[in-house]
Amino acid sequence: MKRKLLLANLALLALIVAGAVHLRRAWEEAHVREDAVLRKRLQPAPPPPMPPPPAAEQVKAAVYNDIAQKMLFSKDRNPVVVVEPPPAPKPIPMPALPLFHGVLDLGDGPMAIMSENTKAPHRDYQPGDKVGAFKLVAVNNDELVLEWEGQTITKSVDEMLDRSVAPPPMSGVALAPSAPVAPKPAVAPAPAAPGGDLSPSTKACVPGDSSPAGTVVDGMRKVIKATPFGSRCFWESVK
């Protein structure tokens, strides 16, 4: 009986020792794992990838506009090109006015007896006719209205009167004797007939025509009128 009890105690002791050994081993393994975990260093997280650098912008000439304008020693720093206007044309000088010799009215309205200059022949001009470089616009006994290069020129009759004719000699003044003038050959009288056209309803007299005023030929009547410059002869249409 004692022997069985001893064996049982020995078996119990062996079981206790085996349990203790097992617990010791488990504790050591746990301790090793704990040390490994505590001693393990944490690795830092990798940095985020860097974005790619921006593409280089292409250089343009307009970028340097501000720099060019602020460079004091640059001749072309002002982008505004000043274009000088062409010089104004010189005004054309107005030619000399024609000469006025009188007014003639044949029933169709007044006509001015004028000449372009002292050497030009006298003739009658109606409003609208050209007198040299001028155009006759209107005429009456007091003034004439001319047009030249778009300008209207109004002159009194006295301003345009031809004064190149020498005045008659004063009484009591002795004149030097002139050389004798040879007599002109006699001119045969011309037949009574109208000459060239002066206007649509008047014709000129033929030199040498001695027919009296009132003579009617081919539907034209001869008229002789006194003017400040002598007798004026013309033919007018018989109405």
Q: How many other CB atoms are found less than 10 A from the CB of residue 67?
A: 10
Does the pTM surpass 0.75? The reply is no
Inform me whether the pLDDT recorded for 171 exceeds 50: no
pLDDT at 166 over 60: no
Instruction: Give the pLDDT band (50/70/90) at residue 170.
Output: very low
- Predicted confidence (pLDDT) at residue 227 exceeds the cutoff of 80: no
Q: For 194-217, what is each residue's pLDDT tens digit?
A: 887 777 788 888 877 888 888 888
Round the average pLDDT of the chain to a whole number and report it: 77
Residue at 67: amino acid letter: I
- Asked if 193 and 208 count as a contact pair (C-beta separation under 8 A), the reply is no
Question: Measured between alpha carbons, how far is residue 227 from residues 33, 193, 230 in Å?
Answer: 154, 22, 5
* Segment 161-174 mean pLDDT: 51
What is the per-residue pLDDT for 41?
58
In this model, does residue 169 exceed pLDDT 50?
Answer: no
Contact predicate 198/170, CB 8 Å: no
Is residue 176 over pLDDT 90?
A: no
Amino acid in position 210: S
